[in-house]
Structure 1
């Protein structure tokens, strides 16, 4: 590794459209204490990368300008430190000693994934599992492309639906953008948790895919009003036995609506989302594709005891991200290994076709994840 000093990476010299993306030779980054240097085989493409390319989403202070929030690859070296975060990849006690050169890992990043090498905080590494086909029972290694499709979307869903919104078994969750990477992960994770899922989509093709993936209800927002439809869907729903978000018994008269909404639209859907929530409902906003500013009827929010939460994962500290990854590995990674939760990869493209990868997301063509093939691995 000492001889390798340069690597290929995607750079954005100036913000702009897809033609702003460049694949250039840059220096291999240093590996700070408490980090592992990963040789990247595949990188997931996320809408946040597009917003960064456009100049509307600056990386957090100290982060690389190279885009890319999730990768899969092979550990090249580990720079141990006494204060290193617990490792996700090997030792039974979760110590950093569990990470070794040669380990096949997926990783959650603050940036830098569109490159041949990236340093990763040890607490943000995830072991690539051997997966079991749920139908045949046959086992096989998960591919790097499949593994790269998981870290950012699963960590986002885990943090927001289960840690922040505290989605309970039996509750209804409305997932906007059901055919997206976040949406396809959220459907599977919510179902594995015992929740009931409704999703919004913009095409029949995506509607059919979400049904096949296990969504209990699918709403085409181009043809139906999602507020009216979610009320119809949940109108005759049985009251969950679990307590509400506040740990209190639920009202005997349940107001139709979703218990939790996972939203990517922001301002454009804010008022309608609160109307679509039931009493004690929780709205979690994770993206602002429909704008950042809107008016909200606080009186209705108070009467219905609803909660509106807006969060982002990228800007959180290494310690906070390590906690998210640890919880994800404990609660949902076994479902990945069993095949109950599967990566949804729409297309794999070489890193030189990064502009086309962005187009697939921008045009709404992709279902699930688009993956960049970065480097050849054994």
Structure 2
């Protein structure tokens, strides 16, 4: 099969077809999502977890073509999408069965590749960890990103007030069309001033990390929850513990890729909750995949450049033909 292995040049190479181990299925890939983790891995800065494939790609959509021992509930020919620890930039991939999801009704199989990472990330962090509720103010940094565009829609569907940061008016306009109530151009104004004037954020989803820590804490409401899922702005910052304590607030850091397949806090649990809670919102039209651009697998370098440019609105996908 054709695949792209990181790190190094994003050249297509030939690898043996995967064979399903017990508890796994083989998916013939229609499309794969491109994520910042793939860019980092290709640059040699983010190795896959122990035991994971060296092939890039953390999410795919496609068709089940083989089923390993001990797997039930899936049949050959099923259209699926899947959360991966690696292996998605390929014609075929072996997937632990608990990480499979059906393609939601109303979504074509290729577009479904835009869903697993964003849907599972937002569900695990915003709903299962931060417990965002109706009427609360939710701030998502990078509102026009793949995660951001999904988070805006889900939070709006849950009845929250939604604020976003983005770097220009066009991106903010897109976020408003998806359900954002407050748009903040971070190149022209301080988001913590805007959010503080609104009474403070109950939940903040942050992809920046160190650079935004002090402003995020200032922006929190009493009892607020800051969930950090990225480190684009660095890994070390000074935390004003007194300010955090005075607000009875929480700072939480999480990851998704290295979680175990099954057990407490596992990918299986997150996938199941995502299908149960988010898929009905997709099928009813309240949430939809937002796709910026689509490239062929052989053009992975161009796809990475598009995502790394910061110009993308929504997800960048690779199709496998």
Which interval holds the TM-score relative to the shorter structure? over 0.9
Structure 2 partner of 1:212: 177
1:221 pairs, out of 186, 191, 194, with 186
Q: Contact 2:7/2:41 (CA < 8 Å) preserved in 1?
A: no
Structure 1 residue 13: deviation in Å? 5.0
Structure 1 partner of 2:3: 9
Superposed counterparts of 1:124-203, under 5 Å? 124-131=99-106, 142-203=107-168
Structure 2 partner of 1:66: 55
Structure 1: how far apart are the matches of 2:96 and 2:194? Answer: 43
Structure 2 partner of 1:76: 65
1:338 pairs, out of 284, 301, 307, with 284
Q: Contact 1:145/1:348 (CA < 8 Å) preserved in 2?
A: no
- Please list every run of at least 4 consecutive aligned residues from structure 1 whose deviation after the TM superposition is greater than 4 angstroms: none
Number of aligned pairs? 318
List gaps (5 residues or longer) in structure 1: 1-6, 15-19, 82-95, 132-141, 235-255
Structure 1 residue 145: deviation in Å? 2.4
1:111 pairs, out of 86, 91, 107, with 86
Give the TM-score taking structure 1 as reference length.
0.83
| Secondary structure, aligned partner of 1:166 | coil
Structure 2 partner of 1:134: none
2:267 pairs, out of 306, 321, 343, with 321
Q: Contact 1:263/1:283 (CA < 8 Å) preserved in 2?
A: yes
List gaps (5 residues or longer) in structure 2: none
1:348 pairs, out of 273, 289, 294, with 294
Structure 1 residue 97: deviation in Å? 2.5
Structure 1 residue 130: deviation in Å? 2.0
Structure 2: how far apart are the matches of 1:13 and 1:184? Answer: 28
> What per-residue deviation string (whole Å, max 9, x for no partner) do you get for residues 344-370 of structure 1?
011111011101101111111110001
Superposed counterparts of 1:19-98, under 5 Å? 20-81=9-70, 96-98=71-73
Structure 1: how far apart are the matches of 2:16 and 2:237? Answer: 44
Structure 1: how far apart are the matches of 2:284 and 2:320? Answer: 27
Give the TM-score taking structure 2 as reference length.
0.97
Q: Contact 2:142/2:165 (CA < 8 Å) preserved in 1?
A: yes
Structure 1 residue 206: deviation in Å? 0.6
Structure 1 residue 144: deviation in Å? 2.2
RMSD: 0.9
Structure 2: how far apart are the matches of 1:214 and 1:347? Answer: 22
